[in-house]
Structure 1
Amino acid sequence: MKIAMIGTGYVGLVSGVCFSDFGHEVICVDKDPAKLAKLNAGDVPIYEPGLDDLMAKNVAAGRLTFSGNLAEAVAGADAVFIAVGTPTRRGDGHADLTYVMAAATEIAQALTDYAVVVTKSTVPVGTNARVAETIRAANPDVDFDVASNPEFLREGAAIDDFMRPDRIVVGVESDRAAEVMQAIYRPLYLRDFPVMTTDLESAEMIKYAANAFLATKITFINEIANLCERTGADVKMVSKGMGMDGRIGNKFLHAGPGYGGSCFPKDTSALARIGQEYGVPMQLTETVIKVNEETKRRMVDKVFDLCGGSVNGKTVAVLGVTFKPNTDDMRDAPSLTIVPALVGKGAKVRVVDPQGAREGEALLPGVTWVEDVYEAAKGADAVVILTEWNEFRALDLGRVAADMATPVMADLRNIYNPDDARAAGFTAYVSIGRKDYGLAE
């Protein structure tokens, strides 16, 4: 089948590459000439493990191409996927559908034969109906259907998620559209991965409901961690005990400095706004958003306490600034709250992140980027772990402590054992939801 993928951001590029690996002819369309030049030169503009090799394989096979010509890509396509950005709109928290509707208009003008126009972008309930109206208004005679096909890709594991999904959700209004979508996903149908066919509105809501629930699990365990610190309980033991309950499960029950990334902040905000518009306040989601921001700010206080109440003039080594490991994504990362607060209070911040500099250099002014953890820690007054990259999980803690001016650590991902840190020579250690030691009374 011929597929046009409109947008080569994270979702569009990963989806386009994976569809081409299914054997489809895929043309990925983007308006950014610099990005297209990179893609046509074989360079991947985002960091996602394995994506570069899979892209090169399918380009070489002739199944995957990149173009700035939307009309050429859409003409004769069996399906046209809209995978453009839906950022949070300033002022009201709603998803900005400007790019989606602009794409719908251009697609309408380019369609020559029947095609399914598939919304892959995360959009509020009712958006696919608006896409259909927009297409009909722009080209009343065009033959088409719309479909909703939300993505559930985890950054850092996106290819595996696409090829071995928990489920595929397809919202359609006609049997003809359902048949096209079944043909597109045939390799996964044949391997018995669950495919759920729904109406458009349910498919749209599934995406928001899933992400809001996961954000709630993260925020819940972070609140429990805060209480654990006051009561003397260990949040790692608490989350483990909770996760053994089959009704709860252990995923997304790891205490940390708050959720971030491209999905959870944007989607919880949009869901809250949808509830307000329909007169059904999403009170739980609204509270999750509030508590998550408070969690990030609480991490700043932890670092200040570790440093005796002030970081002015002190050197702080920050390990990891991306919102999670195995990505270069900085969107709404906790580091964007914590690091500027340290710099603003006079700290000299050294940052180590395997992929973070690509976006972080512009987003975190006033910091020094270094390549090596031990270099960053040398002479430092504190080490702060913000992202649990594998490179940070097996450090020689004795070497780190010995090279520091003041061997103290804020482990905001709970990747080390407090007793091991003490044995390695750290005089003070703070984490999340566990007993600290070495802090001034």
Structure 2
Amino acid sequence: MSRRTVLATAAAVAAIAATASPALGATGPAARPPRAARLVDNHFWTSYEDWRTGTAEGTAVVAGSRPGLRIAKAAGRTDYTDPHTGTTATWEYARWTSPTHRSTVPATEAIASWNARTPAGTWLQVELRGTYSDKTETPWYVMGRWTAGDDIAVDIRRTSVDDQTDGKSTVWTDTLSLDDTTAALRIVSYRLRLTLYRKPGDTATPTVWRLGAMASAVPDRFTVPASTPGLAKELKVPRYSQEIHAGQYPEYDNGGEAWCSPTSSQMIIEYWGRKPTPEDLAWVDPTYADPQVCHAARFTFDYQYEGCGNWPFNAAYAATYKDLQGVVTRLASLTELESLIAAGIPAITSQSFRKEELTGAGYGTAGHLMTVIGFTAGGDVIANDPASPSDPAVRRVYKRREWENIWLRTKRYNASGKVVSGTGGVCYLYFPTKLSSAQRKALAAVGIR
């Protein structure tokens, strides 16, 4: 199971758009049924034109098939004391600040994602500054300090940052949440600030290809309406168990029993034809099966959270593989997930449940990641569930109605009868830079470009 205790998903009044009734005695077509308010807004900067819209301080736009940002010249220097090693070092940096994005959803939560290459001795910081509906602003919240490497001689420890709050909102590891979602206050817009770091005088630079955030306002709900099954399809995704790694490398979240997130990430990375090289895996004990899972755990590990379940870190890890992209988002329904599967795009989903709530799981969890790889003819969910005793046992079929409600709800009762939170449809989506038209359309339909 993941060490993540699922964060409280903010409550929102999900207004239904009002439709005026026709006047008595009027003729003409019937009024359209009301549409439910949007719950999720995704916005990403990825194109050459996108990167040119921001405010640059020492950054340059990289053209080509995968446009991005890099350091052109240092905008300044700063000392950073790594809280996990105690080492203080001087770094030069360049910075890019996005234009203001006005969310289509007055939001209660926001989660940032980024895709980058960070050569040894470089790193990046992503910050978010929101504007509230009362026209005040949040501080610049640090949403993550990321480096793909972990060579203590040259790299910082990748980390989230605790204790960030302004009395209205708080950052919980990787998620910015309003403190009181029953009030009218919402986050209506935001900017992102990206700072790229390297050693003074060095020519190496991080290169960032994708930066953005998912803003959402999912209402409090213990249940969701049942959906109608769609197309039956199963994707051929590799199967890996986290449980066979129990006790291995306990310095990374106490070993494999807690590695649901990196194990799920590795399954999807390999589905897209990417995997670590033998040189990458040379550090792993040769007697261990599936060494790539150990590798994924090590290189998604968040030294502040002390776990491998930081959502954006997993997406960023996936994007270290050639021409692969990763985002964290929310889906509004199982129908949206079915559309992605139909286009050949599996998803890594986050959920929590009691043992008796999910038939066939055999466990309960306060937070767990699994990979959805398909749907049966009857609409049941086919999942590669890493909380399985062996690789062959990873493929599971879960009852549609049970699984749908568990994944999409934001409130639930735990084993003690206490009301706790659910994730409200959180998932990771990984996909290559070269997509089919059907895949591009399916991603666009859920707000990802």
TM-score, structure 2 as length reference: 0.24
Greater radius of gyration (CA): 1
> Which structure shows the bigger proportion of residues in strand conformation?
2
TM-score, structure 1 normalization: 0.25
Bigger fraction of residues in helix: 1
